[in-house]
Amino acid sequence: MYPEYLVEPMRAELTSVGFEQLKSAAEVDAAIKSEGTVFVVVNSVCGCAAANARPAAKVAAANEKHPDKLVTVFAGMEKDAVDQARSYMMPFPPSSPAMALFKDGKLVHMIERHQIEGRPAQMIADNLIGAFEEYC
């Protein structure tokens, strides 16, 4: 676990633009199982989260067509919430950062860490926006 003071600014990058921070498995269940579309970001302290994932998520979330719910869990912090979110992302292996789009509780789009590392934030955002346009 990381000290809260270290991750708070990283959490705030997403929560300040409308993402809900989920801190328990029950909160994850309620969000993902809800009707409609849910965009889940597995946040992280790594450099690719800072340079690529969080900026891409923010750009995509600002798109005119976007998911009904924007939520995030933080790897290395709330283990139960992260594990529960990852259980819905199967068969994809656990990775952080990662991004997933659910529609009516079903996984419809996934971006893993290897698709985030080394790619510009706008390229990742464009991928997400394409999924939002299709499913939302």
The catalytic position among 46, 56, 85, 111 is 46
- Using a CB cutoff of 8 Å and minimum separation of 24, what contacts does 114-119 make? 116/48, 116/49, 116/52, 116/53, 116/56, 117/48, 117/52, 118/48, 119/52
What is the CB neighbour count within 10 angstroms for residue 73?
A: 28
The catalytic position among 7, 48, 116, 124 is 48
The verdict on whether 46 is a catalytic residue reads: yes
Closest residue by Cα to residue 112 from 122, 97, 91, 101? 97
Separation of alpha carbons 105 and 29, rounded Å = 9
The verdict on whether 136 is a catalytic residue reads: no
Identify the three-state secondary structure at position 101.
strand
Does a cis peptide bond (omega within 30 degrees of 0) precede residue 3? no
Residues with catalytic annotation? 46, 48
